Structure 1
Amino acid sequence: MNISRKQGLLMAAIVALGLSAGGAVLMTERRAPVGEEHAHGHGHGDEHEHEEGHGHEHEHKDEAHAGDAHEHEGEGKDEAHAGHEHKDEAHAGAAHEHKDEHKGEAHAGHEHTGEPHAAPRLVKLNEAQAKAAAVGVSPAGPGTLQSAQAYQGEIRFNEDRTAHVVPRVAGVAESVPANLGQFVRRGQVLAVFASTTVSEQRSEFLAAERRLEAARVTYERERKLWQQKISAEQDYLQAQSALRDAEIAHANAQQKLAAVGASGKSAALNRFELRAPFDGTVVDKHLTLGESVKEDANVFTLSDLNSVWAEFAVGPRDLDVVRVGQRVVVSSTASPTKAQGVISYVGALLGEQTRTARARVTLANPQGAWRPGLFVTVSVLGADQPVPLTVPAEALQNIDNLPMVFRSVRGGFQAVPVQPGRSDGRTVEILGGLQAGEKVATTNAFVLKAEIGKGSAEHTH
């Protein structure tokens, strides 16, 4: 088939156009992802129209544009990633710094208390609560102390109010109602004895009583007869003398019974009741049922414990200091109780073994706090001495084996360690830890100590 020159050129143009269109389609498919990224990254799409004769030029432009978009996207990603890393590092640094601050605060708290689980030293208490607990507050300031000399002593029975009870007649115990440690009233029966001595004395008394009655009748008859001039005066005088003798014999028999503590009349002649001589406590007992005792046997020791003695030894050098009438303060490590009194006796002689004199303080003991045998400290008070800083003795509390006071602060009371000095039992000298004018808890300060103890127990559990 013969093809003209014009037809050949037309076919070549069609083939070239077809190849160009196919290449454009292939390039468009390859650029589609890059175009989308470029559209999202820059906010515009590839809107170029494909025309004839510009296929290769458009391909080069698209490739260049895709390269720029890819580079721009990579830089944006790198910057975003770098910013994200920077943000993470800042956040991690802040968190670490915040954690370190908390650890520092916790560590500071531990250093403040001295131990990780130390009990809080602040007792939160408002004014109403303090008033309800009767916690009194007073300022620390100057005061006076009485000089005191301490002596070691012991509580003893008040021997003026202590009796060693003896039966005073021989006999056998038929009953012993009194028990050791029992409090008895005056005249209360301690024991009952069967005694032949009492039987004889009671018989003598009853006989004397009968003779007295007979002598009285005889005297009255003779007196009437003498007045009527019927009987001689001599008979009247003899009857009068016999009456006087009978009265003396009767009184004598009655006094014998009274001397042993027996009455003139009893259901049994030999019955003898041993009774308490005063109100007191049976502190010693040496008698059992059926026991035979002598008249001087010490069967009971009875003491009135409402009054006791605090005795202490005084050396020769201190005899000019310790005098009768001086005020003292008696205390004991076994009890918080303290008592004030005066020296009632100082011995005039020195003991042969100890070469000391005995001094004595009589103490009232209504609650029975001072028990005989208790070791005490007797502080003999002297002259007043001025002190620059003092607090009442009841303000000082022992917490964790440290002397402390509760200082009044906003919202409650703060336990403050102090260095105490001298004390006269009422006032304590403060050498350190407190300033003059600072208010501290005085009355019922032990309530605040109890609150700290309660908080420590709760923290431990």
Structure 2
Amino acid sequence: MTSPNLPTHTPPEPAPATGAQGRGPSKTRNAALVAMFLAGAGILAYLGWSRPAQLRNLWASLTRPLSPALMAADTGPRPPADRPPWDGLVTLKERGRASMGIETTNVAPQTDPIRLELLGTSEYDSETLSQIRFMFKGRVDKVYKTVGQTVKKGDPLIDLYSTELAETKSAYEIKRIQWTYDKNLLDARKLLVQGQSIAQQLFAETQNSEMKSRREYEVARDNLLVYGLSEAEVEEVKGQVGSQKARMTLRSPADGIIITRDVVVGNLYDEDDTLLVIAPLDHLWVWGNVFESDIDLVHLGQSWEVHFPFLNHKLVGKVEYISNRVDPGTHAVRIRTSVPNPEGRLKADMLVRGLLDVPPVAGWTVIPRTALVVADRQYYVFVKVSGQADKYERRTVGVAQEKEDHVVVETGLRAGEEIVSVGSLLVAQLYDDLKTVQTGAPIGGGANVDER
């Protein structure tokens, strides 16, 4: 008889059977594992038949023992104080360079000149322009030439009428007549003074008068020459009467072409008005634009190959002038040369292309364009460190010129040094990654591209 105050004992449930009826789940799992194994074996067999090289590489990578660096990395990050200091170099072993396609080459000295490509225009030589203007106030009666016409020296340009000119001619005539009278009187009194027929004092006064009138005559004659009359026209003045003295023809002082006309028949003009401008055709100026960054490469006397592309015409000149002003819009400096134009084919304001030769400079070097890395507005290359196997340093260089296939370097490299020529961007990425972690990289002594 049991007591109602005692807890009732419940017997434990029986354990699952261990016989054939109790092995169902284990059998299912084993079948799944077998199926997975067979599938993996099939994949490996297929890879071994179709891609044996990839299979060998996969097997080698799975069976290769871990490097000490990676084993150290597996233990977790080390404190910064325990990490070895980075020497700022990138290690590129031979097999690693080959696998990444990295190539190196030796720095070459500069032997060929730098050729600066310039754009510019042609222009008439402003220092040889002839400006036709009156030297006095007058009226235009006729204009013989217009813009674009060529002229020869001595050709008539403008007929004018001027009362001021007439007065100057009349003054010249008066001075000429007075000097002629005094000269004849002096010649007569020379004979008289030799025969002592007149006093010596009177002869001296006659000499003085002749000298004075001759000087006044010469001044009046020079005034006409300054006004633009030729020697022959001055001689014709003595035969002119009435309004003929007020007329004059302005003639071309040189061969050339009329490039400016600012004159109208019937208008009055004075010495401040430019009526015509004549430009010589025997030569032209050529202006070129040099970028501000290249101006240190340009010097007076350098050879300049000038091309007129639309005429298929090429000339060679010398740099004659370098402007001391930088254009604020283009940041370019203008340079100038003179080119001959014997046939008159060249015109002003024509498009010009030029090649300016900059002679080689001692100490400058040439490297492939693919070796240069640009970062933070600086130019870099990776140079093999002398005496350290497979070590490369990042070095800042000064660039004189960049071309499509090469770069001329003015500072930072020496001829004969070994640099990374292909794959420099990959090396730069390794460098940047290592720099990002500073000295915390698991591999010491620089980023390594080794045989792995």
Return the TM-score normalized by structure 1: 0.49
Instruction: String of CA shifts for 1:299-353, please: whole Å, max 9, x gaps.
Output: 1110112200111233443232111111112224433222221111113454677
Of 207, 218, 227, the match for 1:240? 207
Fraction of identical pairs, as percent: 20
Residue pairs, 1:229-378, within 5 angstroms: 229-262=196-229, 263-264=233-234, 265-266=236-237, 267=240, 268-350=244-326, 356-378=332-354
Q: Check conservation: 2:298, 2:358, Cα contact below 8 A.
A: no
Q: Which residue of 1 aligns with 2:82?
A: none
Q: Distance in 2 between matches of 1:236 and 1:353?
A: 77
SS of 1:269's partner is: helix
Which residue number corresponds to residue 170 of structure 1?
137
What is the alpha-carbon distance in structure 1 between the residues aligned to residue 196 and residue 359 of structure 2?
Answer: 87
Where does residue 187 of structure 1 map in the other structure? Answer: 154
More off after superposition, 259-268 vs 272-281 = 259-268
C-alpha separation in 2, matches of 1:294 and 1:345: 35
Gaps of 5+ in 2: 1-110, 367-403, 406-452
Any idea what SS the aligned residue of 1:169 has? coil
Mapping 1:49-448, distance limit 5 Å: 147-262=114-229, 263-264=233-234, 265-266=236-237, 267=240, 268-350=244-326, 356-383=332-359
Higher Rg: 1
Over the aligned positions, Cα root-mean-square deviation in angstroms equals 2.5
Amino acid at match of 1:340: V
SS at match of 2:184: helix
8 Å Cα contact 1:169-1:296 kept in structure 2: no
Q: Which runs of 5+ in 1 are unaligned?
A: 1-143, 387-420, 423-461
Q: Find the counterpart in structure 2 of residue 54 from structure 1.
A: none
Q: Tell me which amino acid in the other structure corresponds to 1:368.
A: G
Could you give the per-residue CA deviations for residues 65-116 of structure 1, whole angstroms, max 9, x where no partner exists? Answer: xxxxxxxxxxxxxxxxxxxxxxxxxxxxxxxxxxxxxxxxxxxxxxxxxxxx
CA distance in 1, matches of 2:305, 2:345: 15
- In structure 2, C-alpha distance between the alignment counterparts of 1:256 and 1:155, rounded to whole Å: 38
Counterpart AA for 2:199:
A
Q: CA deviation at 1:355?
A: 5.8
Shift of 1:222: 2.3
CA spacing shift, 1:354–1:170, aligned 2, 3 Å: farther
Q: Number of aligned pairs?
A: 245
The amino acid that maps onto 1:295 is E
Matched to 2:143, the amino acid is V
TM-score, normalised with respect to structure 2: 0.50
Greater helix content = 1
C-alpha separation between the residues in 2 aligned to 1:146 and 1:316?
19
In structure 2, the CA distance between the partners of 1:272 and 1:353, relative to structure 1 (3 Å rule), is farther
Whole-angstrom CA distance in 2 between matches of 1:334 and 1:150: 17
| Whole-angstrom distance in 2 between the partners of 1:279 and 1:332 | 24
Task: Measure, in 2, the Cα distance between the counterparts of 1:154 and 1:191.
Answer: 32
Deviation of the 1:235 alpha carbon: 0.4
Q: What amino acid sits opposite 1:320 in the alignment?
A: D
Tell me, in whole angstroms, the C-alpha distance in 2 between the residues paired with 1:170 and 1:157: 29
